[in-house]
Amino acid sequence: MAITRDDVLKALSAVTVDAGGTTLPASGRLSQVVVDPTNRVMFSILIDPSEAERFESVRRRAEGTILAMPGVSGVFASLTSERGPNQPAPPAQAAPPQPGRPAPPRTGPALPGVRHIVAVASGKGGVGKSTTACNLALALSAQGLKVGLLDADIYGPSVPKLFGLSGKPKVIEERLLAPMDGYGIKVMSIGFLIEPETAMIWRGPMVQSAITQMLREVAWGDLDILVVDMPPGTGDAQLTMAQATPLSGAVIVSTPQDLALIDARRGVTMFRKVSVPILGVIENMATFICPNCGHASHIFGHGGAREEAARLDVPFLGEIPLDMTIRETSDSGRPVVAVNPDGPHAKVYRGIAAQLWANLTGGPAPRAAPRIVIE
């Protein structure tokens, strides 16, 4: 039996939000309610950050009410502080940092056990952001760091495919999901949790809500770094997400074409607006290496991202060639850094990962412990 949004709203009218008996749907705090084809219900409750504690109990009651509905297979509800129609404006954003000065540290609620959260973003889709995020995460892991990868690309989650992972994550405690294992790193993707067509209709508050849950209701354990593959672009959803996630920094992936660079510039501006330090720009598909003769050609021009990074006063992390091996390994679920860790591609990603870690922490990563061979 298909559950409708009206069914959900009717059920939620039994949940009150204050002593006066205002119901959740009447409070104006309910985001758009989404029911996916498997009868999973998703919504968020708009609050001011100062109301978080009080509304946590409303959220739990709302979830309990929906779970008790016959036919509902799951519920995904969370609190969001995006401004709602009946709410006061959120506190003013910190002023954007002055060019050349480091951004002030972020103050969002940290994730226990996770030292750094770093966003991998792009101004537009198709520049190789997800491929780069995966291989960077693996390269960080190869340096002896404990690494997680959160695929927050809600409009086109591709991490399951890039890692060749399928199936649903296990629930290990009430409301806590176990991340999947992808070549030794902890992986969670919105793609494990929703049907692809559901993703397309998600709006800003829903996006934030889902990300918050994937951050906080996944058993990440102790991590040195959690890499977040962001949705492409610089619209409201991305801005909201950048605000809602306690990011230590962001990396922008761009191709050398001018257009992509304009988009990359928007990405830099977006993170500056919310005071997230830019750890660097990566130029992807920089040169084409001919698979037959090894000759390098600069199909899209060359050096644009490096120059642009200098103009924007952000670090340049390096160039990744346009290479058939990278595409083939990504598309077959065997990321190149994992399957050929000593090859030339892995070396490029490792160099970028080392620079990224240095920009993040000011020091080198611990080396992987040497392998002891007993003969």
Could you list the residues known to form a binding site for ATP, using ranges. 123-130
Rg of the chain over Cα atoms, rounded to whole angstroms, equals: 22
Site for ligand ADP in 103-132 (CB under 6 A): 122, 125-131
- The two tokens of residue 267 are 């990405």
Site for ligand ADP in 194-253 (CB under 6 A): 232
CA distance 346 to 350: 6
Between 321 and 341, name the residue whose CB sits nearer to ligand ADP.
321
Place of tokens 């952001």: 129
Nearest distance in Å: CB 106, ligand ADP: 24
DSSP letter string, 3-70: --HHHHHHHHTT-B-STT--BTGGGT-B---EE-TT-EEEEEEE--GGGHHHHHHHHHHHHHHHHTST
Q: Phi and psi dihedrals of 71, rounded to 5?
A: 95, -15
Question: Among 158, 240, 245, 287, which residue interacts with ligand ADP (rule: CB under 6 A)?
Answer: 158
What is the number of H-type helices and E-type strands within the chain? 13, 14
Between 35 and 322, name the residue whose CB sits nearer to ligand ADP.
322
Helix, strand, coil percentages in the chain from 3-state DSSP, rounded to 5: 35, 20, 45
Residues at the binding site are 123-130
Question: Among 268, 322, 336, 356, which residue interacts with ligand ADP (rule: CB under 6 A)?
Answer: 322
How many chain residues touch ligand ADP (CB under 6 A)? 19
Cβ-proximal residue to ligand ADP, closest one: 128
Is 263 one of the binding residues for ligand ADP (CB under 6 A)?
A: no
Is 144 one of the binding residues for ligand ADP (CB under 6 A)?
A: no
Between 108 and 333, name the residue whose CB sits nearer to ligand ADP.
333
Nearest distance in Å: CB 322, ligand ADP: 4
Is 323 one of the binding residues for ligand ADP (CB under 6 A)?
A: yes
Residues 31, 45 contacting (CB under 8 angstroms):
yes
Residues 244, 206 contacting (CB under 8 angstroms):
no
Nearest distance in Å: CB 133, ligand ADP: 8
CA distances from 157 to 161, 200, 231, 242, 253 (A): 9, 11, 8, 17, 17
Between 128 and 205, name the residue whose CB sits nearer to ligand ADP.
128
Between 11 and 305, name the residue whose CB sits nearer to ligand ADP.
305
Nearest distance in Å: CB 123, ligand ADP: 10
Nearest distance in Å: CB 302, ligand ADP: 14
Burial class (CB in 10 A: 0-12, 13-18, 19+), 288: middle
Is 135 one of the binding residues for ligand ADP (CB under 6 A)?
A: no
Q: Phi and psi dihedrals of 65, rounded to 5?
A: -60, -45
Between 103 and 322, name the residue whose CB sits nearer to ligand ADP.
322
CA distance 128 to 235: 19
Contact footprint for ligand ADP (CB under 6 A): 122, 125-131, 158, 232, 284-285, 320, 322-323, 326-327, 330-331
